Chain A
Amino acid sequence: MRYLLHHLLSESAQAHPDTIAVVDGERSITYGELEHRSNQLARLLIELGIHRGDRVGLYLEKSLESIIGIYGVLKAGAAYVPFDPHAPTGRLAYIAGNCGIRVLLTGAEKATSWAELKRAGAPIEVLVVLNADRVDADPPRGTRLYDRTATAGHIDGAPAVSGIGLDLAYILYTSGSTGVPKGVMLSHQNALTFVDWTVDEFEVRPDDRLSNHAPLHFDLSILDIFAAAEAGARVVLVPAAASVFPVEVARFIERNEITIWYSVPSILSTLVRHGGLAGGEFPSLRTILFAGEVFPTKYLRRLMNLLPHVEFANLYGPTETNVCTYYRVPPIPEEQTEAIPIGRAIADVEVFAVTDDGRMAAPGEEGELYVRGSTVMLGYWGDPERTARGLIPNPIGGELHDPVYRTGDLVREDPDGNYRFFGRRDAQIKSRGYRIELGEIEGALYAHPAVVECAVTAIPDELITNRIKVYVVTRGSVQQAELIRFCSDRIPRYMIPELWEFREVLPKTSTGKVDRQALAMSGGV
């Protein structure tokens, strides 16, 4: 019986060891090799003192090696923590400290950042370089450095580590409203329930080729990597250039004969607008899945018209629930502008809406979406209070006090049982599929000594969902460029406000809070 994520790899490696598992540019790795090399890595990790339940960081550009890294960590009984390879080191050091990362799997391209990470307080003792046999850089003081030869010296065969489906498999850090990121803990079972559903619902087969567009610290990558492993299919890593140039996305799908594409909608919108599609491209492509934000209806319709042989589905779910609902998109009428629904629950998951006064919302009535089922996270790492606010005893379940997750998303149920998303209860926004807490941006700004007051707001945007605008009150003269540089050391680039307005004072409500509504009105948005 398989109940751990790496069982998916081991089974496919046994069934077809010579089939290609992962493609990374000109390089690829078979299921047999991936199994072999991740076994060796797991043995090295165990020798380095990694035990069941430990957290191991992953800090390198997405590559064959990072996939080997994921499986190596899981086979050692530990949980992997994927770092955004382009995030400021201060943020990554916080993450490493928060979940106690002693061992970091990394790449030679990150050598210049190791010392900075350590200086910023990361408790790292061991660096394992996955992609080079020799590293010229010296390890920072207090750390030991291992290169690829250290892994290759180990014998094959999965190490004997016991585990159950409820064990922690990975932690994904998302934007936190209190100014620091929060770690969403997901178990093997959380991911497997979703992966099993994906393989079943979209009939993923050994001859499928899945794209992997999302970075590994983004939960969309779970589908690509593990659904491919379960089916014994091929996953093709999307190179950086294909994320930037719409024409390259088209070339990538064509050249790799991708059959299942999964990404945030914004890249698909730019493919429609600038990809030079004439219609009828991509004969191999059969399924396009998207998630993370609302797909502007007019671009979705255009893409569907250009690719009539492809099925389209909207997947929805906060990181805390993997994916919890889905909607297969029927042909969209020409005059429709309304966004498509988020749909209904996936297998083994239940969703319902709860009104402000705690009742189950009737169809058509607005409520907050609650999710119950085995895709729902274990909690937030090291933060029982926040966990208790997010995972609450089922309010509707009678005697069954199993935890349900409050998404904070406001929804309404259509008469046909599909849910529609309307907005958030709080100050969380989406921009280009990234989930952003406006409070985290404000937290970064307030750390600057010259910032007296600030308010970050979201301006709705058709293409990227939201643009970020900040109103700042400063003491003395401080340049916008200086504040941008200051933010760059603390928050990822996609969180840095695009529009800046300097004010003498910010408008307040009667309770003394910043009046965001007044700001939005005065800002002409």
Chain B
Amino acid sequence: MTVQDRLRGFIIDELRWDGPGAALTNDYPLIERRVVDSMGIYQIVTFIEGEFGIEVFDEELVPEHFGSIDEIALFIEAKRAS
């Protein structure tokens, strides 16, 4: 399962995405469409910290890193590489 698929699974199961799973594409705007709200963002952070063994700092909590599933995956990749 790719990082993207794991993120998608988490968003569907834990953040209660109520649309059809197929509509939640890798570039779907998570923030503008309110898939992720002010609580959801911390759930995602907790999830990726536990799942991918990284630590997310406050200053990294920006739309550029969390705007879509692809962006989150890129962010995780960059964190693991560093």
Q: How many residues of B contact A (CB 8 A)?
A: 18
Give 19 CB contacts A-B under 8 Å.
A86-B34, A244-B36, A244-B37, A244-B41, A244-B63, A245-B41, A246-B58, A247-B58, A247-B59, A247-B61, A248-B63, A270-B38, A274-B61, A275-B58, A481-B13, A488-B16, A488-B18, A489-B18, A493-B16
**Is A243 in contact with B58, judged by CB distance below 8 angstroms?**
no
A521 at the interface (CB under 8 A from B): no
- Our pick among B18, B39, B40, B63 for the contact of A241 (Cβ within 8 Å) is B63
In-complex Cβ contact of B31 among A240, A247, A266, A432 (8 A)? A240
Chain B residue numbers with a CB within 8 Å of A275 are 58
Interface flags for B48-64 (1: CB within 8 Å of A; 0: not) read 00000000001101110
Q: Is there a chain B Cβ closer than 8 Å to A192's Cβ?
A: no
A231-285: which residues lie under 8 A (CB-CB) from chain B? Answer: 240-241, 243-248, 266-267, 270, 274-276
Give A residues with C-beta under 8 Å from B. 86, 240-241, 243-248, 266-267, 270, 274-276, 432, 464, 481, 484-485, 488-489, 493, 496
A240 to B38 alpha-carbon distance, docked (Å): 10
A residues within 8 A CB of B18? 485, 488-489
Interchain nearest-CB distance for B23 vs A (Å) = 11
Q: How far is the CA of A275 from the CA of B31 in the complex (A)?
A: 18
Assess whether B27 is interfacial by the CB under 8 Å rule.
Answer: no
Partner of B39, one of A245, A464, A481: A464
Closest 7 CB pairs of A and B: A488-B18, A241-B63, A274-B58, A241-B31, A244-B41, A276-B58, A86-B34
- CB neighbours (8 Å) of A247 from chain B are 58-59, 61-62
**How far is the CB of B60 from the nearest CB of chain A, in Å?**
9
Closest Cβ of chain B to A467, distance in Å, is 10
Structural contact, A245 and B34, CB atoms closer than 8 A: no
Distance A244 CA – B66 CA, assembled complex (angstroms)? 10
**Cβ of B32 and Cβ of A276 under 8 Å apart?**
no
How many angstroms between the C-alpha atoms of A432 and B40 in the bound complex?
Answer: 13
B60, closest chain A residue (CB):
A247
Chain A nearest Cβ from B39, distance in angstroms = 7
Known contacts: A488-B16, A488-B18. The answer to whether A248 contacts B62 by CB under 8 A is yes
Would B16 and A245 count as touching, CB distance under 8 A?
Answer: no
Complex contact A496–B16 (CB within 8 A): yes
Give the residues in chain B near A464, CB-CB below 8 Å: 39
Chain A residues whose C-beta falls within 8 Å of the C-beta of B38 in the assembled complex: 243-244, 266-267, 270, 432
Q: Which residues of B contact A240 (CB under 8 A)?
A: 31-32, 34
A86 and B34 CA atoms in complex are apart in Å by 8
Contacts of B32 in A (CB 8 A): 240-241
Which residue in chain B gives the minimum CB-CB distance to A270?
A: B38
Interface pair A243/B61, CB less than 8 Å apart:
no
How far, in whole Å, are A275 and B61 apart by their CA atoms in the complex?
A: 9
